[in-house]
Amino acid sequence: MAAIRPIDYGTPERTAEASVSLEIDGQAVTVPEGTSVMRAAMTAGVDIPRLCATDSLEPFGSCRLCLVEIEGRRGYPASCTTPVEDGMVVRTAGDTVRRLRRNVVELYLTDHPGTSVTGEGHGDDELLAMAARLGVEASRYPSARNHQTAAVDDSNPYFRFDPSRCIVCSRCVRACNEIQGTFALTVDGHGFASMISAGTGEDDFLSSECVSCGACVQACPTEALEEKTVIEAGAPERAVVTTCAYCGVGCSFQAELRGDRIVRMVPYRHGQANHGHSCVKGRFAWGYTNHPDRITRPMIRERITDAWREVSWDEAIGFAAERLNGLRERHGPGVLGAITSSRCTNEETFLVQKLARAVFGTNNVDTCARVCHSPTGYGLKNTFGTSAGTQDFDSVQSADVVLVIGANPTDAHPVFASQLKRRLRAGARLIVVDPRAIDLVRSPHVAADYHLQLRPGTNVALVNALAHTVIAEGLEDAGFIRTRCETDEYAAWREFILRPENAPEAVEAVTGVPAATLRAAARLYATGGNAAIYYGLGVTEHSQGSTMVMGMANLAMATGNIGREGVGVNPLRGQNNVQGSCDMGSFPHELPGYRHIADEGVRGIFEREWGVTLDTEPGMRIPNMIDAATGGAFKGLYIQGEDILQSDPNVRHIAAGLEGMECVIIQDLFLNETARYAHVFLPGSTFLEKDGTFTNAERRINRVRKISEAPAGMADWEITQALAQALGYPMHYRHPGEIMDEIARTTPTFAGVSFEKIDELGSIQWPCNEAHPEGTRVMHVGEFVRGLGRFLLTPYVATDERANRRFPLLLTTGRILSQYNVGTQTRRTDNRVWHDEDILEIHPEDAETRGIREGMRVRLASRIGETTLHAHISPRMMPGVVYTTFHFPETATNVVTTEFSDWATECPEYKVTAVEVAPSHTLSEWQYSQAQARERQQRVTHEESTTEEVTARERA
Amino acid sequence: MDDAKMVHQANQIAAYFEAYPQARAREGVLDHLHKFWPPDKRARLAAYLAGNGGGLHPLAAWAAAQLEAPAGQD
């Protein structure tokens, strides 16, 4: 269990080679040079009173509570802003400073309500705690002018700002600036009128540019900024450390409880991915876990047109097993398959692929990485030797040049974005490659040196031109190439990349990026010091996604930017455990640890462990399963925690495939879109309701800890195990830790991993084995995983999805800060305040020529289908390109996207769809039909009707 | 899966490996099909070549022929 209030050293830790020795209250203390007197005192166990200081923020020196006496110095310096010096003699608790501190507290109390918002004790109010500690029971000063009747800002759905409690210490302002990097808060006014303000004077917190990360609330020492859940439920009594279930940053959180009720999620200060920071989703958007839409009983139905029938676990599992067994007996194991969930734990994902391979008897297993980072797997494995990012997040603090390609970290990976922005504010240079002017291009105190605003679908042409410039201008790292890479492959690549068609001037017409700008960016990347690449789905979700990943790997190798701190090629993974689900053998051609199914030796390891003979051939990917189902050759699918009807491209085709199956089993929290085609619904568990591990984008394995029981009574791993048993396979784990032990026994990169070791170290980055017993922060140091790095050719092949007169615009899709993936979780939270529908962003010129005004409903049509949504006119777009998100089933953005996909992995080309946009007054036909279907499913479910009752009612 | 989609995907693979000299390009396409395409899909491609076979990139056609042919024959 974690401490609700961990030790706060008052000012940040300093690292320096030189150390300084001093005396504090008679104790000898030695600390690194640059350490504050306050922190030095705390390391010696002397806790100097303070209010404006906290060790997550730089010292500010405003509250005057931390005054000390220093021999030989005049006055009473603030210990937070005074650095230690050799031989210094400090007294922290003399009569004078104690009197001064009590006086300061009394003055603060003249303009403070005097009680905690929780109604008991001090709650989170450090002023009240400090008053008690200093023996101040009441203020001697009359309460004259004050802020006790100032209006409370209640606009934010998750926290409130009460000016009557504010002491204007600026901790919130500094947290917004230093930690989050949004600069949304300020101290407005002077003297008595000084007050914390979000945005401009006209704004409240909701209308300001505040991103609700919660850093200000966490920093506030007086409950002026406080979580509404704490005000409502009372102060937390205990805390459990666990891992966020949103994006691939994998933030550690303290789930803080009062009794058995969670009252808030607080980013864990010792979290090795997030270092005490969070975003609006992880910090606040956890209300979905007890949303009334949660399905809490298993359900079955004979046909997908029937009503659902709530049944016992035994009946549901038995029904599913009988259907699966029947299909296997009649048609063979090849008609069955499974989809693992990147939202579930490593242990649960491992079990689903084991279920498919060892119990179903097929390698037909896939995961959502099929539609996001499967090209990362292909590209990095073939060039470097393994399918993972090369660095940890902290490595960015050593980067001198950051190249962000096809990623929007401030929206999709906000906590990493804050760390990145800290480095940029400290002077690192930035190159952004994106069709949109994402926030990083220009935001407070951050500006990209180069924004290469390329046309969608031309990534490979661009990365080739960057590499061409490096080689043609002699900027390569010849020593690195000679000693670390395959010579013959480099020679072939060098000849290829120097061809005239790869020159910036030649590709300018294709990419739309001026050659001079591209050359300048290439020079900066190659010569600016440590250069690091961070990329997202704007790289992978293309017909040449894998080629682009290889192109970035080539660029990093050519410039020697791999294998040390501050460099590397780093995928920003979308879902909390998409790295883990890939590691765990979720792909149809690979066993856990990215080892091909055809490898007899590897197969033997699992055959001996599982007591079965495994199929030697690669299984079907998700699109293969859907294609086969439409032709009747695929009949049974077990889907854990994915909603392919909303997330995958060409929704009509997905629906046709699902409809063609005879047994679809959905294991989820809610009746998602895909569940409309299901025969069995198995109610799953949230991240708060089970034990296990998630692996984030930096290969970091973090513990997920059970805090409460799943409403339906079973964790997801237990459901999979029950299904395996019903199918006749002996699967008897007592705890997820035993599953991890099996993973470690069978998978060399996890050989040293166990729950006990994770608990001991906090987290572990794989590979973790005999050679790296505590894990691996930076990969490919000294040599690549595959030995020598391999340059691979990257020919630019234009996508077949082309704009034309009928569909003249290119649609690209992505995410927004407040919503997550298909919105299953975030749509069921107050995050809807910021974004309650998908919006189409369109350039002013494109809008004007089409008669589209701000907020107008528009029809978005492609060769595949059409939908409608509201338009937002935005200069962030380049002319000819429109953008939207895919968070809302009411929009069903993927009705429009095509089945064109990456050549190597079949990752869909979400980022390039030729479309036309026009004003519209009505929903599309598809939207109407789906709304009716959705309503029907929900109505029937809540009525708990039997099949016969619904049929009779429909006949009537 | 309809044939047009399968042919398009096979041709995409061929278009990538076309950058390499012919022997390596052929091997690349064939190896990719073996490693990543399930047996039924490979069999369909082979059957497609044996039937109409139209529209296949030469490298894809060569690889499809190897799928059909017994091992060791070219």
Q: Is some CB atom of chain A closer than 8 A to the CB atom of B44?
A: no
B17 is in which domain, residue-wise? 3-66
Q: Are A5 and A55 in contact (CB under 8 A)?
A: no
Element containing residue B70 per DSSP (H, E): none
In whole angstroms, what is the distance from residue A64 CA to residue A51 CA? 8
- Eight-class DSSP state of A873: E
Beta bridge mates, A273: none
Are residues A757 and A740 in contact, defined by beta-carbon separation less than 8 angstroms?
no
Q: What is the pLDDT of residue A2?
A: 64
pTM for the full predicted model:
0.95
Report the distance separating Cα B14 and Cα B8, nearest Å: 10
Q: Which residues pair with A83 in a beta bridge?
A: A36
Please give the residue of chain B at the shortest CA–CA distance from A587. Answer: B36
Cβ neighbours of residue A326 closer than 8 Å, sequence gap 6 or more: none
CA distance A820 to A574: 9
Residue with tokens 């059970």: A706
Q: How far apart are CA A353 and CA A341, in angstroms?
A: 10
Cβ–Cβ gap B1/A904 under 8 Å: no
Strand partners, A30: A21
Domain assignment present for residue B16? The answer is yes
Does pLDDT of B74 surpass 80? Answer: no
pLDDT band at A926 (very low <50, low <70, confident <90, very high): confident
Task: Kindly determine whether residue B36 and residue A589, on different chains, have CB atoms separated by under 8 Å.
Answer: yes
Is B41 in the A-facing interface, judged by CB distances under 8 Å? yes
Task: Determine, yes or no, domain membership for B59.
Answer: yes
Question: In this structure, what DSSP letter does residue A95 have?
Answer: H
Interatomic CA distance for residues B46 and A921, integer angstroms? 49
Q: How confident is the model at residue A948 (pLDDT cuts 50, 70, 90)?
A: very low
B44 domain residue, yes or no: yes
* % of chain A with per-residue pLDDT over 70: 98
Distances B57 to A801, B22, B24 between C-alpha atoms, Å: 19, 13, 16
pLDDT value of position A950: 42
Per-residue model confidence as pLDDT tens digits over A151-190 = 999 999 999 999 999 999 999 999 999 999 999 999 999 9
Q: How many residues does chain A have?
A: 956
Q: Which residues of A touch B (CB under 8 A)?
A: 334, 363-364, 492, 496, 543, 547, 588-589, 596, 598, 617-620, 624, 627-628, 631, 633, 793-795, 797, 800, 899, 901, 903-906
CB A646 within 8 A of CB A672: yes
Angle between helices A126-133 and A95-109 (to 10 degrees): 140
Q: List chain A residues with CB under 8 Å of B41.
A: 620, 624
Dmax over Cα atoms in chain B, in whole Å? 31
* CA distances from residue A127 to A95, A185, A672 in whole angstroms, order as listed: 20, 22, 47
CB contact under 8 A, B15 and A589: no
Query: What confidence category does residue B52 fall into, taking pLDDT thresholds of 50, 70 and 90?
Result: confident
For testing the chain A interface, which of B35, B42, B45, B67 should be mutated: the one with the most A CBs within 10 Å? B35
Nearest to A571 by CA among A592, A599, A541: A541
The 3-state secondary structure of A208-234, one letter per residue: CCCCCCCHHHHHCCCCCEEEHHHHHHC
End-to-end CA distance of chain B: 28
Cα separation of A694 and A577, whole Å? 5
Cα torsion at A594, A600, A606, A612 (round to 10°)? Answer: 140
Averaged pLDDT, A474-499: 98
- How far apart are the CA of B32 and the nearest CA of chain A, in angstroms? 8
What's the pLDDT score for residue A184?
Answer: 96
C-beta of residue A317 within 8 angstroms of C-beta of residue A681: no
Report helix angle A622-630 to A651-659, nearest 10: 60
Alpha-carbon span A546 to B36, nearest angstrom: 14
**Residue A387: predicted pLDDT:** 87
Quick one: tokens of A474? 């002699």
Q: B15 and A543 in contact by Cβ < 8 A?
A: no
Residue B74 lies in a domain: no
Q: How many domains does chain B have?
A: 1
Using only the alpha carbons of chain A, give its radius of gyration.
Answer: 29
Q: Would the CB atoms of B38 and A617 count as touching at under 8 Å?
A: yes
User: Is pLDDT at A946 greater than 60 in this prediction?
Assistant: no
Does the residue B71 lie in any domain? no
In 3D space, the residue among A551, A591, A273, A544 whose CA is nearest the CA of residue A419 turns out to be A273
Q: What is the pLDDT of residues A742-768, one digit of tens each?
A: 999 999 999 999 999 999 999 999 999
Residue A23 host element (H or E) = strand A19-24
Lowest-confidence region among A260-269, A506-515, A891-900:
A891-900
Give the residue-averaged pLDDT of A238-253: 96
- Residue B36 included in any domain: yes
Contact B9 A901 (CB under 8 A): yes
Task: Say which DSSP state A17 is in.
Answer: S
Cβ–Cβ gap A547/B16 under 8 Å: yes
Q: How far apart are the CA of A809 and the nearest CA of chain B, in angstroms?
A: 23
- pLDDT, one tens digit per residue, over A813-871 is 999 999 998 888 999 999 999 999 999 999 999 999 999 999 999 999 999 999 999 99
Domain contains B27? yes
Residues in A closer than 8 angstroms to B40, CB to CB, are 334, 620, 628, 633
Q: How many residues does chain B have?
A: 74
Question: Measured in Å, how far apart are chain A's first and last C-alpha atoms?
Answer: 58
Which pLDDT score, from 0 to 100, does residue A196 have?
A: 95
Residue B73 in any domain: the answer is no
Q: In the predicted model, is pLDDT for residue A4 greater than 90?
A: no
Under the banding of pLDDT at 50, 70 and 90, the label for residue A941 is low
**Which residue in this structure is represented by tokens 């200069």?**
A875
A593 sits in the region (left: phi over 0; alpha: psi -120 to 50; else beta) called: left
